[in-house]
Amino acid sequence: MRAAVPATTSFPRFSRVVRPGFSAWAIAGLLALPVGVGLAGAMLPAVGYMPALGGTTFSLAPFRALFAQPGLAASIGLSLASGLLTTAVSTLGVALFLAAFHGTIGHRVARRALAPLLAVPHAAAAFGLAFLIAPSGLLFRLLALPFGFDRPPDLLILGDPLGLAMMAGLVAKEMPFLLLVALAALSQADPDRRMALARSLGYGKAAAFLMTVWPTVYRQIRLPVLAVTAYASGVVDVALILGPSTPAPLAVRLLGWMNDADLSLRFMASAGAILQVAVTGAVLGIWLLGERLTGAMRRQAATTGHRYRRDTGFRIVGSLPVALAGSAVFLGLLLLLVWSFAGFWGFPDVLPPSYNLTTWERVLPAAAGPMATTFLVAILAASAALALVVVLLESRRCQFRAAAGRAIRLQPAIAGLIYLPLIVPQIAFVFGLQVLVMALRLEPTILLLAVVHLIFVAPYVALALADPWYALDPRYEQVSASLGHGPITRLFRVRLPMLTAPVLTAVAIGFATSVGQYLPTVLIGAGRLPTITTEAVALASGGNRRIIGAYALLQTLLPFLAFSLSGMLPRLLSPQRRAKRAP
């Protein structure tokens, strides 16, 4: 048996693996490549080239057919509005909430409530909201008794032509996400000293926060905000459940054309995919313009000399958006639970007259397999994403070896590549990706599915981990290095243990992202790898609220466990860590 090798000898080997630059580029390139290939796969049919369907010449006919579609302008308008309004309301809600509650008990309550809110998949939250606000939903059942109506009012609430219900559903899910990243960024924005300074100049609490702390927080969370913008402009599942149908937003119509039995529509659908990319691009452009505008307005407000001291009313109003979104999602989830146990439950009964276990007895045996698949794929994708992201972040840090206290960020080009899957609408490139996977004769396996999920999981893990990773005081590792420990030892004995909480949160976010994937799972899994999400969507088409409730809850369960564990593990591990810190 060989003697234990001193840890220091691993140093040269490690630095070869993480050669600054190359591995980062390789990883970023690998993650972005499928997006590029998928887009190319949409681009060719969009200009008429798809030999399998007889398209061998280039032409603009697919685009002409696309622009001749009735109601296309309305669809584009819906996508634009959805991208902009959802993000504006969500961001504003987060800013107001933090301004009103920073450093108070509300702040801590919100932090606690975030994990379960984030765990609810978009589709489940949308169904919950539908059960709440539909004319036959809980709210109108509560109103039915005092106002004496025995059947639901004929009101167009779900699927309203302006897409308000859809945007409400999106806001309810995106606001908690932005709040999470904002809370993480807050600690680095030096809020206490900035607030103290602004308060000493006589500003009210909320104004002090919005003028001194928020701009820094926003700069830090800009990327997640842009990701929300892109997502909301190309969303499919929430739009299908809550959005208008005549016409539907562009992404939904695109999916319809892609899946149409009339195969010639594929050309037009590909042109539509390119249009979707353009629409999302336009939304992002408008958002960036809006950023400048609000920045200018804020500066103007700051130079008027107003101190905005009386802000009690403002603080009550400021708490509303986040509180409404949070309670809507929780109430919706509760409704899903009640429906899954309900017998016949007609309008206007507020609670079901009878309960039974029939739904769960039928659902559970059928759901076991998909649950296992979901778990395996998600854990594989999330761990692989973590490994890649750590290598990526470390290789960048190596270039700043001695720069203590200096802010490190990923090179813009590399960041652009990793975050590409967050900015390019999924629906625009997954169909092209599907053709590539088939052309490579890749069989649908758990591993392949995990690799495809990795494309969407890795950016979120990077998003969650980058800031805490670079914020850790480098002097801990310098001390460790001075004791003769090599980089691998330092990584596993110092850095990772000290960053347990953010690392686990990042893994949980990655895990939840994988669980929620629908289109890539259906297309790449070729239906042979049903996950709880694909089953939920297929069964939801039957419109049975009991089944929908049961599956939405099952869909929430895995991410919820992941988030709970990520919150609990660091505390469980902490005695050991304390011992390590203070020997």
Q: What are the helix (H) ranges across 419-544?
A: 420-423, 426-439, 446-471, 475-482, 487-489, 496-498, 500-516, 519-524, 532-540
Any contact of residue 338 with another protein (CB under 8 A)? no
CB of 362 to another protein, least distance (A): 6
Task: Write down the least CB distance from residue 269 to another protein, Å.
Answer: 10
- CA distances to 25, 26, 467 from 20, rounded to whole Å, are 9, 11, 19
Q: Which residues of 5-44 are buried (b: 16+ CB within 10 A; e: fewer)?
A: eebeebbeebeeebeeeebbeebbebbbebbeebbebbbb
* Region 64-123 residues binding another protein, contact defined as CB under 8 A: 69-72, 74-75
| Binding status of residue 146 toward another protein by CB under 8 A | no
Site for another protein in 344-373 (CB under 8 A): 344, 346-347, 356, 358, 362, 366
For another protein (CB under 8 A), the number of binding residues is: 74
Give the integer Cα–Cα distance in Å for 480 and 490.
7
Q: Is 537 in the site for another protein (CB under 8 A)?
A: yes
Give the nearest distance from C-beta 72 to another protein in angstroms.
8
- Judged by beta carbon, residue 144 or residue 283, the one nearer another protein is 144
Out of 543, 572, 578, 583, the only residue in the binding site for another protein (CB under 8 A) is: 543
In angstroms, give the least distance from the CB of 373 to another protein: 12
Stretch that binds another protein, among 111-119, 453-461, 468-476, 545-553 (CB under 8 A): 545-553
398 makes contact with another protein (CB under 8 A): no
Contact 211, 203 (CB under 8 A): yes
List of residues 6+ apart from 569 with CB closer than 8 A: 500, 504
Name residues contacting another protein, limited to 511-530 (CB under 8 A): 522, 526-528, 530
Site for another protein in 198-237 (CB under 8 A): none
| Residue 132 within binding range of another protein, rule CB under 8 A | no
Binding another protein (rule: CB under 8 A), the pick from 83, 244, 332, 486 is: 244
Using CA of residue 551, residue 552, residue 558, residue 561, what is the dihedral sign? negative
Question: What contacts 104, CB < 8 A, 6 or more positions away?
Answer: none
C-alpha of 504 from chain center? 16
Shortest gap between Cβ of 488 and another protein (angstroms)?
Answer: 18
Contact between 300 and another protein (CB under 8 A)?
no
CB closer to another protein, 149 vs 571: 149
* DSSP per-residue letters across 283-335: HHHHHHHHHHHHHHHHHHHHHT-------HHHHHHHHHHHHHHHHHHHHHHHH
Residue closer to another protein, measured from CB, 37 or 92:
37
* 28-47 residues near another protein, rule: CB under 8 A: 29-30
Residue 518 or 563 with smaller CB distance to another protein = 518
Question: Which helix H or strand E contains 557, and what residues bound it?
Answer: helix 545-581
159 touching another protein, by CB under 8 A: yes
What region, left, alpha or beta, does residue 190 occupy, with left being phi > 0 and alpha being psi -120 to 50 degrees?
left
According to the binding rule CB under 8 A, does residue 535 interact with another protein? yes
| 342 near another protein, rule: CB under 8 A | yes
Q: Which of 82, 319, 374, 534 binds another protein (CB under 8 A)?
A: 534
Which residues make Cβ contacts (< 8 Å) with residue 212, sequence separation at least 6? 194, 195, 197, 198
Asked if 343 interacts with another protein (CB under 8 A), we say yes
